[in-house]
Amino acid sequence: MSTLRKDPLSHGWVIYTDEEYQKPEAPARVVNMPAGGCLYCEKNESMTLPEVAAYRQGGLKNGPGWTVRAVPNAHAVLHIEGKTNRRGEGLYDMMNGIGAHEVIVETPDHSALLHLSSVEKIAEILHMLRDRMNDLMRDPRFRYMQIFRNYGDVAGAVHPHPHSQIIALPIVPRWVYEEINHAQEYWKIKERCVFCDILAQDSDGPRMVYENEGFVALTPFASKFPFETWVYPKEHLNSYHLATDESLLVLADAVKSVLTLLATALEDPPYNLIIHSSPAQPEKRYNTPTAKLNDYYHWHIEIIPRATKVAGFEYGTGFYINSVLPEKAAEILRGQLTPPG
Amino acid sequence: MSTLRKDPLSHGWVIYTDEEYQKPEAPARVVNMPAGGCLYCEKNESMTLPEVAAYRQGGLKNGPGWTVRAVPNAHAVLHIEGKTNRRGEGLYDMMNGIGAHEVIVETPDHSALLHLSSVEKIAEILHMLRDRMNDLMRDPRFRYMQIFRNYGDVAGAVHPHPHSQIIALPIVPRWVYEEINHAQEYWKIKERCVFCDILAQDSDGPRMVYENEGFVALTPFASKFPFETWVYPKEHLNSYHLATDESLLVLADAVKSVLTLLATALEDPPYNLIIHSSPAQPEKRYNTPTAKLNDYYHWHIEIIPRATKVAGFEYGTGFYINSVLPEKAAEILRGQLTPPG
């Protein structure tokens, strides 16, 4: 018997079948060097647009010596100059593609793998992502800062050099917006954060994947994809840009651990890693007379292994079919923690 | 300059970039015969579960002689027996996987291509889909009948024999539900159907792809995917199951025409074809004191060519990036109507 589950955050339903799970066809790791050299490697800094930020152990701006480097994406989908100019066209709405699109080059090492990097190195990358988010939050045109990491060709990575991206958007993405709305509805009834309630219900339960002193990794009750895993801060906090340096070190341990479990269980799967966090300027539209955004929203990381072929009709319905129950996925992931025996 | 557009139906935003569009890597057509024979071919009727319906020119039930045949999907994601048993688990909601999942075998001809079939043959398939929908609507456990057609491996087709599918669901899929909600909101303000307004604004405009006496095909103002094309009945009607035999013949012409334009322009792309229609039992939850579901909702077909690699962060955000403006897509599709010269 298959089962339907409702995601308390998106309010979408997912069908769980009992088909056999298939591992990804090929591991994600690609270490080949692009023809003409890699624009994100050290000494090739002139191949990128001028950097917007870098952590350096030496050297000059736009030269070698950096450990993490943020540059504008040369193929940016949004551009920084101009006004959004919201306008209509008959019954339709549109605006200019104003925003920012940056690449965070995570390391000079072309063939580094994130999950094999040290906790300190991962914390340094998380630090840069937080700093860039903080900087972009100051621009009043931007409503949402979307941080994401595509790993592997199948997951949409167009460049093999280890990197993350941040897109500053003039609107809040639809699914973040819905998550916020549903968290607000939950608060109205319970006067509690739905994410905190999820942590209370699922910590130490069958969907638990990993826990350290500051973070919990869970497979969601209604995960859309097999082995989808979310990482939540235990302490209620609405936005990633407010995370402290100390907490980023603890987060780095959680991220390294979850990615290592996924890499072991699924043999280096391609994945998308996405941070869901508060929109900018909450006082304008997300604070209500009885609750501030920070009361009811709780930032988190969603890691979606791209291990299954995307099925057909999800695109037209928003209805997902998943062949791996989250309890089974969590059990398999936890099983990688200790050698079998 | 890229542009952002808001879909008036989903309320999702799409970024239009000016990247170069890439055609699909390989055409969708696959005519190979599965090892062990094809379970959907004539004379192999015993390889499927017993048929639930068939149009026949002769022969006995579950034997040869049929032209269209509906059978339960042997790998059904939902099953017909039992009660839905909605229940909670702490803060979560779940129910049993009750529903129906049927395969509509469109023709005995293993290598037929839908867009090359006659208008009468396509009408016969549409007729069966409508009849199966009508039959399933009678089961009070089912809230929504999702009709879809996956064409090509990339689009999720697991079998090369021409077929469509219908899934009877105990819930309304998220995106259909949102479309209904947004159409209802629009009605509250305008007292008009938003789909009818779209047809009024876009017919004869730059997003027009094809028109006949009963149907209009348009690329949506905020299409999520390149060359996405929707087919709407001109006459306001909320549900596909109410379509008349005469209108199905006119619809068959529109479907054949649009699929032919797509096959020519994109060299036989894989695609998903999805019918969005009214949920069952509207009096229970979709009729309001001032408007019935049939006032504000309008059934339609969405055809989504799977011609681009699925990009990364859409999964976590519901935010789409599309490199082909719908006006450009419509122009290219219209250009296939007459030979270049």
- Residue B225: what pLDDT? 87
Q: How far is CA A184 from CA A176, A197, A241, in A?
A: 12, 13, 21
Q: What is the pLDDT confidence band of residue B309, given thresholds at 50, 70 and 90?
A: low
Residue A340 lies inside a defined structural domain of this protein:
no
Overall size of chain B counted in residues: 341
With 50 as the cut, is the pLDDT of residue B5 above it? yes
Distance from CA of B326 to the nearest CA of A (A): 13
- Both tokens assigned to B323: 């490199």
Residues 221-250 of B with CB under 8 A from A: 221-222, 224-225
Residue B5 has its nearest CB partner, among A94, A156, A318, at: A94
Residue B30 pLDDT level (bands cut at 50, 70, 90): low
Of B1, B92, B317, the CB nearest to A173: B317
| pLDDT band, very low/low/confident/very high, at B285 (cuts 50, 70, 90) | confident
Confidence band of B66 (pLDDT split at 50, 70, 90):
very high
Contact A84, A96 (CB under 8 A): yes
Max CA distance (Å), chain A? 67
Q: What is the pLDDT of residue A66?
A: 98
Please say if the pLDDT value at position B120 is more than 70.
Answer: yes
Residue A222 C-beta-side C-alpha neighbours within 13 Å:
22
Domain hosting A323: range is 3-335
B311 at interface of A, judged by CB pairs closer than 8 A: yes
Q: In chain B, what percentage of residues exceed pLDDT 70?
A: 92
Question: Measuring CA to CA, which residue among B327, B91, B333 is closest to residue B211?
Answer: B333
Q: What is the pLDDT of residue A145?
A: 95
Contacts of A320 (CB under 8 A, 6+ apart): A12, A13, A14, A15, A224, A225, A314
- Residue B113's DSSP bridge partners are none
Q: Could you give the CA distance from residue A70 to residue A130 in angstroms, rounded to a whole number?
A: 12
Residue B341 inside a domain? The answer is: no
- Residue B323 binned pLDDT confidence (cut-offs 50, 70, 90): confident
Residues 6+ apart with CB under 8 A from B255: B114, B122, B126, B231, B301
Q: How confident is the model at residue A73 (pLDDT cuts 50, 70, 90)?
A: very high
Q: Do B197 and A91 touch (CB under 8 A)?
A: yes
Rounded to whole angstroms, the Cα distance separating A237 from A243 reads 8
Is the pLDDT at B305 greater than 70? The verdict is: yes
Average pLDDT in chain B:
90
Range name among A29-33, B13-17, B308-312 with the lowest pLDDT average? B308-312
Reported as type and span, the H/E element at residue A298 is none
* Nearest residue to B9 via CA among A293, A183, A202, A318: A318
| β-sheet bridge partners, residue A13 | A6
Four-residue CA torsion sign, A34, A37, A39, A40: positive
| CA-CA-CA-CA dihedral for B152, B98, A222, B76, to nearest 10 | -30
- H helices then E strands: how many in chain B? 8, 15
In degrees and rounded to multiples of 5, residue B137 shows phi and psi of -60, -20
- In this prediction, residue B235 carries a pLDDT of 96
Q: What is the CATH number of the domain that holds A311?
A: 3.30.428.10
pLDDT at residue number A47: 95
- pLDDT for A104: 98
Number of domains in chain B: 1
- Decide if A95 touches B, using CB distance below 8 A: yes
Q: How confident is the model at residue B218 (pLDDT cuts 50, 70, 90)?
A: very high
pLDDT at B341 over 60: no
B181/A contact by beta carbon, under 8 A: no
The Cα A80–Cα A330 span in angstroms is 41
Min mean pLDDT across A186-200, B25-39, B148-162 is at B25-39
DSSP calls for B221-266: TT-SSTT-EEEEESS--S-GGG--HHHHHHHHHHHHHHHHHHHHHH
- Please tell me the predicted confidence (pLDDT) of residue A341: 45
Q: Does B46 or A323 have the greater pLDDT score?
A: B46
- Say if A341 falls within a structural domain: no
Statement: residue B72 has pLDDT above 70: yes
Cα angle vertex A131, ends B315, A135, to 5°? 90
Confidence of residue B14 (pLDDT cuts 50, 70, 90): confident
Summarize pLDDT for A120-175 with one digit per residue, the tens: 999 999 999 999 999 999 999 999 999 999 998 878 787 889 999 999 999 888 88
* Residue B26 contacts A where some CB pair is shorter than 8 Å: no
ipTM for the predicted complex: 0.88
Higher pLDDT, B20 or A274: A274
> Is residue A68 very low, low, confident or very high in pLDDT (cuts 50, 70, 90)?
very high
- Residue A315 has what pLDDT? 67
Over 70: is that where the pLDDT of B340 sits?
A: no
pLDDT at A317: 77
Q: Which of residues 197-216 of B touch A (CB under 8 A)?
A: 197-198, 201
Give the mutation candidate from B11, B13, B102, B271 for the A interface (greatest A CB count, under 10 A): B13
Residue A25 binned pLDDT confidence (cut-offs 50, 70, 90): low
Contacts of A109 (CB under 8 A, 6+ apart): A162
- Asked if A83 and A96 count as a contact pair (C-beta separation under 8 A), the reply is yes
Partner residues linked to B208 by β-bridges: B218
Average pLDDT, chain A: 90
> pLDDT category, A21, cuts 50, 70, 90?
low
- CA separation for the pair A281, A140 (Å, rounded): 8
pLDDT in tens, A81-110: 889 888 998 999 999 989 999 999 999 999
- pLDDT higher than 90, residue A251: yes
Per-residue pLDDT, averaged over B175-182, amounts to 89
**Cβ <8 Å between B316 and A274:** yes
| Sheet containing B300-305, strands listed edge to edge, beginning at the edge strand earlier in sequence | B53-56, B66-72, B100-105, B163-169, B144-151, B271-276, B300-305, B229-233, B215-218, B208-211
| Per-residue model confidence as pLDDT tens digits over A193-229 | 999 999 999 998 999 999 999 999 999 999 988 899 9
Strand order in the sheet with A92-96: A87-89, A92-96, B3-6, B13-16, B320-322
- Asked if B194's CB is within 8 angstroms of A91's CB, the reply is yes
Q: Which two tokens stand for residue B321?
A: 């990036």
Between the two ends of chain A, the Cα-to-Cα distance in Å is 32
Going by pLDDT thresholds of 50, 70 and 90, the confidence category of residue A340 is: very low
A84 domain residue, yes or no = yes
User: What's residue A338's pLDDT?
Assistant: 62
Q: Is residue B211 part of a domain?
A: yes
Q: Do B156 and A312 touch (CB under 8 A)?
A: yes
Instruction: Please say if the pLDDT value at position B338 is more than 70.
Output: no
A89/B contact by beta carbon, under 8 A: yes
pLDDT of residue A54: 98
Give the pLDDT confidence of A281-335 residue by residue, as tens digits.
887 778 888 888 888 999 999 999 986 665 556 767 777 888 889 999 999 999 9
Provide, as residue numbers in chain A, all residues whose Cβ is less than 8 Å from the Cβ of B13: 171, 173-174
When pLDDT is averaged across residues B110-122 and rounded to a whole number, the result is 97
Residue B340 lies in a domain: no
In contact, A173 and B318? CB cutoff 8 Å: yes
Nearest-neighbour CA in chain B from A246: distance (Å): 27
Which residue spans within chain A are E strands per DSSP? Answer: 3-6, 13-16, 53-56, 66-72, 87-89, 92-96, 100-105, 144-151, 163-169, 208-211, 215-218, 229-233, 271-276, 300-305, 320-322
| Rounded Cα–Cα distance for residues B79 and B99 (Å) | 5
Write the single-letter amino acid at A49: L
Q: Which of A19, A146, A167 sits opposite B75 (nearest CB)?
A: A19
In a domain, A137, yes or no: yes
Does the beta-carbon distance from B316 to A19 stay under 8 Å? Answer: no
End-to-end CA distance of chain B: 32
- From residue A244, how far is each of A51, A306, B201, B308 by CA, in Å? 24, 31, 51, 40
Residue type, B173: P
Amino acid code (one letter) for B199: L
The answer to whether residue A51 sits within a structural domain is yes
